[in-house]
Structure 1
Amino acid sequence: MIITGNVVEEITWLKKNMFSKFEMKNLGNLKYFLGIQVLRSKQGIFIYQKKYVLDLLAETGLIDCKPVDTPMVVNHNLHMELIGELADKERYQRLVGKLIYLSHTHPNIAYV
């Protein structure tokens, strides 16, 4: 459970009551949760997903890829291969799910 708020006294009261009714541990300040890293500074709290993206690139074998404006060959003629191998359905679904999750936290890539 992540507890957050602006009033320290209320957070302390909530934690005290939760700890008395449930078996819980205080793990300190949030650093990493659901693929999101949390950094604190004097300017505020910042979240980013560098580790999540790097793990995703490593899983797909694209860790050394170079960014391009159009990630495919321009004017490429697509054709159907009649004797081609089928892709791994579960791996594809897992990758699409991770990309959808990433697009929820990065609106700048949601359209792409």
Structure 2
Amino acid sequence: MRITGIKDRELASRYQRTQWEALKYLVDQYKDEVFVGVGLPYNKALISWEELLEVGERIASISSDLQVVVLDYFPTFRNRSLVRPSPKEMLKVKEALNSVGLKTVIVQTSLGHFGP
């Protein structure tokens, strides 16, 4: 909720449920017809390690073969106090997501992309 700015907890929960249901529906109904992948912004100031692993487990429970691209989130216009994750940190994110069962994880870093 703090990232989105949505003040209504029930509305935020409904949006979150809808996005998970949409991903599952796309995978279940169209995986062989269209490319389905997940983009995940990462910055330790916005998501805890536990939340990251929980998201990874949830994606893996839908399909461990989904391509997940983790973006090293850093501000360009707003909240410029956020520090861009280092390439080393992003490689740890990749390893962590692989460890929860995701097979195709790519991380974006200041040095380029790494993975799968």
Q: Compute the TM-score of the two structures, normalised by the length of structure 2.
A: 0.24
What is the TM-score with the length of structure 1 in the denominator? 0.24
Q: Which has the larger radius of gyration?
A: 1
Larger % of strand: which? 2
